[in-house]
Amino acid sequence: MSNSEQTNYDELLALALQGKLELLKVIPMAEQLIRTQQQAKAIDLYRAWLKHPERALEHAAYFNLGVLLGEVGSSSEAVAAFRQAAHLKPDFFQAQYNVGVHLERQGHFQETIKQWRASLAEPALKDAQNNGIHIMLLNGMGRLLDKFKEYDEAEDVLRRSLELNQEQPAALYHWIHLRQKQCKWPSLRKLPGISVENMWQAASPLALLGLTDDPARLLETARNYVSKNVIDVPRMMPFGRLYPEHKKLKIGFLSGDFCLHALSLLTVRFFELLDRNKYEVIGFGWSNRDGTPFQHRVFSSFDKYYDIAGTSDEKAAELIQKQEIDILFDLQGLTAGTRPNIVARGPAPIQIAYLGYPGTSALPYVDYVIGDEYIYPPELAQHFTEKPLYMPDCYQVSDDQREYSSEKKKAHYGLPEDKFVFCAFNNNYKIIPEVFESWMRILRRVPDSVLWLLKDNQWSEQNMRNAAQAHGIDPDRLFFAGRVSPTDYLSRFCSADLFLDTFPYNAGTTANDAVWVGLPLVTLSGRSYTSRMAGSILRSVGLESLIADTHAEYEDKAVAFALSPQQQAQSSDILKAAKQNSAALNTHKFVADFDAVITRLLAELKQTA
């Protein structure tokens, strides 16, 4: 600020303190200060004016003050300012919305829901002139209610939002996913002004994985997402040009799930076992700090770990480049919490997609994806933007130090001891009506059997019970297991007799967990990467006979297994041996395979350089 500008500011501040300054003169000065990054002075100016406010404009000054306080990180003071603005002008819904925004930033989620619920109950909000803020409130409520598993109300508020404006792809695919979580079938149900085909077009890449195994459609959806959400900039690091001065290859792993999450449960042992004579292993993550011993183990598995939760995508990419990462593994892809604009800047000379997102991400500068010949057959290449890096055995790593107990009997979990127990512990959103119908036919053909499912929420449980009844199956043959700690979760598999997989979104981590404790699994493989995950694992452990290509074959294999004690015994022996000879279950073997693949890749790149 120049001397003249400082003098002008001082004069305006003095007039404001004396109650001799109009708000219309405060606003342009405040905007000038904001442009020169002098928010503190702008805040002082508004506060000075508010000592002698003009009643008619006082709410606007408090609102502007709240915005500035939020920008400098003073969320508590921002809440107070927005509350005062809303108090002075009760129909000032933007201020009411902002109260919730800053309560949420402070972690006061239930207060946020209470605030927005009260705003949504205001009759004046329904005036057409308030449509924009009405939609913002509904979408914010939907997001938070989903976070706390209030799925039915979340679905309702998003439906109301879509009725106000049908052109909201993000709200639409969120609404679809909420129906998937509740097993409300069909998940795609037309709304006023929105056809089912509109929904197919709007579905997120993640939601679509559970709806189709058509690889062409999955690629199209990923590309549409990227075109709308991902930047198009030159690659920061030229492809394949590693840092020649590095004595050890610097490999980075990028994820928002370095916590008690399925991805880290699979990979932590892999990180620990990577050869430190060859590799420097660096993590870049934005996970919430949960303080658990497991998260500490994950962080400790890296030679260095950088928390980029509060870092912009641009700065995160610059950090990766500054650390001279030779190969960056994107463990996030297009899953929940994705930050695609980090890898889309190309901060590493080689970028490889792995594990987090089971399909093509279509992200710029993601050069390869780790797979195997089963999960990524040659015909899939035309539907992937990433080239395959083929593991010789299995694409999936796991932690071969997982602990569990096989001592608890079926009765411990409320299961009948004299029944054959089919289990299906995949997330409820992976279950589609066609698969559920197969399960009901299997139960009908194996009368002395029950089906054990994951209890995720009350709506999915009730909807599945109702569906069973509609198929002529006693709902009491369905049992539901709540979420528990990883060790207790693994132990639970020991009381089941056969795992029934979902389609087209196969079990990944869950399939590995099942075979790790010795529980066989029957799966249906399709055309997509996602629909071949469990088949890849079964192929690795020596149970290819339990891979089906059609629903009818899937049902026949499940029934035959349930009725054959000999096949059950043989499968048990095969899975015991697999802990030594399968890369899906033996982390040391996987690490050796991984090292060979990276060595071969570098040799190929050197030859083509």
What the chain holds in terms of domains, given with CATH numbers, is 3-201 (1.25.40.10), 249-390 (3.40.50.11380), 410-586 (3.40.50.2000)
- Provide CB contacts within 8 A for 20, sequence distance 6+: none
Better-predicted residue by pLDDT, 35 or 120 = 120
Q: Are strands 521-524 and 249-255 parallel, antiparallel or unpaired?
A: unpaired
pTM above 0.85, yes or no: yes
The Cα–Cα gap between 203 and 225 comes to 9
Report residue 306 as tokens. Answer: 């950088």
- CA distances to 66, 74, 537 from 60, in Å: 10, 19, 61
- pLDDT category, 34, cuts 50, 70, 90? confident
Contact 506, 550 (CB under 8 A): no
Judged against a pLDDT cut of 60, whether residue 568 lies above it is answered with yes
- Other CB atoms within 10 Å distance of the CB of residue 288: 13
- CA distances to 8, 283, 526, 532 from 394, in Å: 70, 23, 17, 11
Describe the crossing of helices 39-49 and 23-35 by its angle, rounded to 10 degrees. 170
* pLDDT tens sequence across 409-422: 999 999 999 999 99
Residue whose tokens read 């694992």:
537
* pLDDT tens sequence across 271-314: 999 999 999 999 999 998 988 999 999 999 999 999 999 899 99
Q: What is the largest CA-CA distance in the chain?
A: 94
Q: Among residues of the chain, what percentage have pLDDT more than 90?
A: 84
Mean pLDDT of the chain, nearest integer:
94
Judged against a pLDDT cut of 80, whether residue 4 lies above it is answered with no
DSSP conformation class of 548: E
The Cα–Cα gap between 596 and 392 comes to 9
Describe the crossing of helices 533-541 and 565-581 by its angle, rounded to 10 degrees. 90
* pLDDT tens sequence across 329-367: 999 999 989 999 999 999 999 999 999 999 999 999 999
Report residue 570 as tokens. Answer: 């043989």
The Cα–Cα gap between 516 and 252 comes to 28
Query: Please, what sign has the CA dihedral across residues 28, 33, 34, 36?
Result: positive
The Cα–Cα gap between 99 and 107 comes to 13
The Cα–Cα gap between 67 and 584 comes to 52
- pLDDT category, 8, cuts 50, 70, 90? confident
The Cα–Cα gap between 449 and 434 comes to 20
Residue whose tokens read 């055309």:
527
- CA distances to 7, 15, 19, 27, 393 from 22, in Å: 18, 9, 8, 9, 74
Contact 355, 253 (CB under 8 A): no
Contact 409, 417 (CB under 8 A): yes
As a 3-state breakdown, the chain gives helix, strand, coil percent values, each rounded to 5, of 55, 10, 35
The Cα–Cα gap between 200 and 196 comes to 6
Judged against a pLDDT cut of 70, whether residue 65 lies above it is answered with yes
* pLDDT tens sequence across 539-551: 999 999 999 999 9
The Cα–Cα gap between 105 and 70 comes to 10
- CA distances to 442, 525, 555 from 550, in Å: 14, 8, 9
